Structures are given as structure tokens and as C-alpha cells.
Amino acid sequence: MRLVVVGAAGRMGRMLIKAIHETPGCVLSAAIERPGSPLLGQDAGVLAGLPASGVLVSDDALSAFVEAEGVLDFTTPDSTVAFAALAAQARIAHIVGTTGLEPQHLAKLEAAARHAAIIRSGNMSLGVNLLAALVRNVAATLGTDWDIEIVEMHHRMKVDAPSGTAVLLGEAAAQGRQVDLAQQRVAVRDGQTGARAPGTIGFAALRGGTVVGDHKVIFAGAGERLELSHVAEDRGLFAQGAVKAALWGRGRKPGLYSMTDVLGLDAL
Ligand SMILES: NC(=O)C1=CN([C@@H]2O[C@H](COP(=O)(O)OP(=O)(O)OC[C@H]3O[C@@H](n4cnc5c(N)ncnc54)[C@H](OP(=O)(O)O)[C@@H]3O)[C@@H](O)[C@H]2O)C=CC1
Ligand SMILES: O=C(O)C1=N[C@H](C(=O)O)C[C@H](O)C1
């Protein structure tokens, strides 16, 4: 499968180039960075710590997309929306790992998904997607006298909060409780907050050092606490998940899909 990596020089971009290199049946067809990037013209393999690949970093996304079967995108919300329009034009699978998307970005992805398959997830790992299924089931089982708090920690360079994974886990908890996360979400507490409102789902984001991604969902009841957690030790696992999603999405009919679809976790 011919795959383009956009944001090729980023932390995830380099991991994606490596994951493609290591996956039989996949080949890096192009590596895209933004116009003006000092990395344009560099060999993408070398950028990822591999032998030279002959694929030079370019800023011509549309030409790259028309020659490919899929695009792996871990960039920024605005860039992802722009890439979705190009992937729709080229009718290729668009794998979106970018987090921090707001409703206006999601609406544009939905529009693009009428023309091509988009697979989006705040976390491409098997462990987190299994955790989400567990969280949904536990939230459905326990009543609102069990408070739900989601704690995450990431490296100091992360620019969005709460993390996409925390939001994904919050959505799973809200689904289990059959409520709308947007109505129940409490992401900031500071000063005289008053007592915790029943039924809310709280988020706390910690940032520091080189932490790849830690998530914990706490169900706090009267006199007891249930904690479900996931620790990502290597961001290579997100890249491997993204490549798996691309292979699953190859030639798939247009629509918006998730890692739950890719991993076949619907029944859980
Ligand atoms: N879903 C998942 O499993 C995971 C998701 N993520 C998410 O992926 C995203 C990226 O993370 P990370 O790799 O750490 O971030 P980085 O900042 O290291 O990488 C982003 C890269 O994208 C480039 N970029 C941004 N806009 C464009 C554009 N329009 N055209 C081409 N290149 C562009 C950036 O270039 P420049 O520096 O010049 O702006 C940079 O090289 C984040 O939203 C993060 O939360 C991360 C890990 C796992
Ligand atoms: O920015 C990161 O690094 C990560 N982002 C994703 C998120 O926002 O949840 C996934 C992973 O935790 C790493």
C-alpha cells in the first residue's frame, strides 16, 4: 500500500515513516511538511533514522495524494481539515491521529468522509481502545453516585488538553451513562469551585518531561475507588496502529470510521 506521511518531521511523523518501513506490503510514497520548512528536500528515511529511502520531504500534498492509496496524518486540527479535503479529492483513505479537534473541525471531516474513508481516533493503540470498552461497561454498571475523573499525563511539548485519549475515554464513560459528554464535562477547576456536581465527568491534565502518554479513569464511590489505567511506553505503538488502520481502510467505502471498527471491538 502506497502511503503518504504528512507532518513527516514531527515526533509521530518520524515514527510513522519507521512503521511503514517495518510493515510488509506498505511503502512510503511521499513525506510532506509545511511550505517553508527547513526540512524540505531531506531524505525521509534518514529523517526517521533509517537508511536513505529516496523519498524527499516535499510540500506538494495534492500531487502526493493522487499517487497514493492512503495518508497518515498526525499534525494540527487546521492542517488535518485541509488534508481531509485533498484526500477526499484524491479518494484515498485518511488516517487521522491529530487531537484537539473542535466541533467545527469535526464537521469538516464529516463532510470530507462523504467522498473517502476517514479513520480517526484520539489513540491508535489496542490497549486504549480496549480500555474505552471497559470504561463504557463500568460506567453503565455503576450509578452516578460513583464520580468519574480522568487523569492524563504527557510530555512537556504537548499543545492540547485534555488529551484526545482522555476525551475518547470521557466519551466512552458518557456513552455508558447515556449522557452527552459536552453537558457533563468539567475540564478546569481553580479557586472556589463549590462541591462537585453529581453526574459530571472531570478531567485533569498534567504535563512534564518526556512522558509518552499515561491515562487513568477513576470511579470514586463512597468508601471505595475503582481505577482503570493505561501506560504507553513507546509512541511507535500509535504509529503501528495507524498503519494497521490504513491497511484496513484501503479501498473501503467513504465514511467516518474509528479504531473500534479497525480492531473489531464493536461487540465489547
Ligand atoms: N491518535 C494517536 O494515537 C496519537 C495522536 N497524537 C497527536 O498527533 C499530533 C501530532 O503530535 P506530534 O507528532 O507529537 O507533534 P509534532 O509537533 O512533533 O508534529 C507535527 C508535525 O506536523 C507538521 N505540520 C503541521 N502542520 C502542517 C502542515 N499544514 N503541512 C505539513 N506539516 C505540518 C509540523 O511542522 P511544524 O513543526 O513546522 O509546524 C510537525 O512537523 C497531536 O495532535 C498529537 O496529540 C500523537 C500521538 C498519538
Ligand atoms: O500528543 C501526544 O503525544 C499524544 N497524543 C494523543 C492524545 O492526545 O491522547 C495520544 C497519546 O496519548 C500521545
**Catalytic residue list contains 154:** yes
Same domain, 159 and 221: yes
Same domain, 107 and 134: no
Residue 268 forms part of a structural domain: no
Q: Which residue among 75, 123, 125 is best mutated to probe the pocket of ligand 2, counting the most ligand atoms within 8 A of its Cβ?
A: 123
Same domain, 16 and 50: yes
Question: Taking 80 as the threshold, does the pLDDT of residue 267 lie above it?
Answer: no
Is 12 part of any known ligand binding site? yes
Is residue 108 very low, low, confident or very high in pLDDT (cuts 50, 70, 90)? very high
What residue owns the CA closest to ligand 1's atom 23? 7
The yes/no answer to whether this complex scores an ipTM above 0.90 is yes
Torsion of Cα atoms, 113 then 34 then 32 then 10, to 10° = -100
Question: Taking 80 as the threshold, does the pLDDT of residue 121 lie above it?
Answer: yes
Same domain, 118 and 86: yes
Predicted confidence at residue 266, as pLDDT, reads 80
CATH number of the domain residue 6 falls in: 3.40.50.720
Same domain, 119 and 239: yes
Is residue 268 very low, low, confident or very high in pLDDT (cuts 50, 70, 90)? confident
Is residue 92 very low, low, confident or very high in pLDDT (cuts 50, 70, 90)? very high
* The three grid cell numbers given for residue 221, joined into one nine-digit string: 464511590
CB contact set of 261 (below 8 Å; sequence gap of 6+): 119, 248
CA-wise closest residue to 170 among 190, 148, 146: 148
Ligand nearest the Cα of residue 230 is 2
Q: Which atom of ligand 1 is nearest to the CA of 13?
A: 13
Residues 200-204 have a mean pLDDT of 98
Residue 6, domain extent:
2-124+235-263
Is residue 78 very low, low, confident or very high in pLDDT (cuts 50, 70, 90)? very high
- Exposed (0-12), middle (13-18) or buried (19+): which is 180, by Cβ within 10 Å? exposed
Predicted confidence at residue 247, as pLDDT, reads 98
Predicted confidence at residue 85, as pLDDT, reads 98
7 lines ligand 2 (CB under 6 A): no
Same domain, 226 and 240: no
9-42 pLDDT per residue, tens: 999 999 999 999 999 999 999 999 999 999 999 9
Number of structural domains the chain divides into: 2
Contact indicator for 55, 45 with CB cutoff of 8 Å: yes
Same domain, 207 and 245: no
Contact indicator for 32, 6 with CB cutoff of 8 Å: yes
Same domain, 117 and 248: yes
Same domain, 7 and 56: yes
Pocket of ligand 1 (CB under 6 A): 6-7, 9-13, 32-34, 37, 74-76, 79, 97-100, 121-124, 160, 164, 235, 238
Number of alpha carbons in the 13 Å side-chain half-sphere of residue 122: 23
Residue 137 forms part of a structural domain: yes
Residues 155-166 have a mean pLDDT of 98
Same domain, 87 and 199: no
CATH number of the domain residue 202 falls in: 3.30.360.10
237-256 pLDDT per residue, tens: 999 999 999 999 999 999 99
Question: Taking 80 as the threshold, does the pLDDT of residue 118 lie above it?
Answer: yes
Please state, in angstroms and rounded to a whole number, the distance separating the CA atoms of residues 83 and 96.
Answer: 10
**Catalytic residue list contains 158:** yes
- Whether the link from the prior residue into 162 is cis, omega within 30° of 0, is yes
Which of 18, 105, 108, 158 is an active site residue?
158
Same domain, 120 and 239: yes
Q: How far is the CA of 223 from the centre of ligand 2 (A)?
A: 32
**pTM across the whole model:** 0.97
Residue 115 forms part of a structural domain: yes
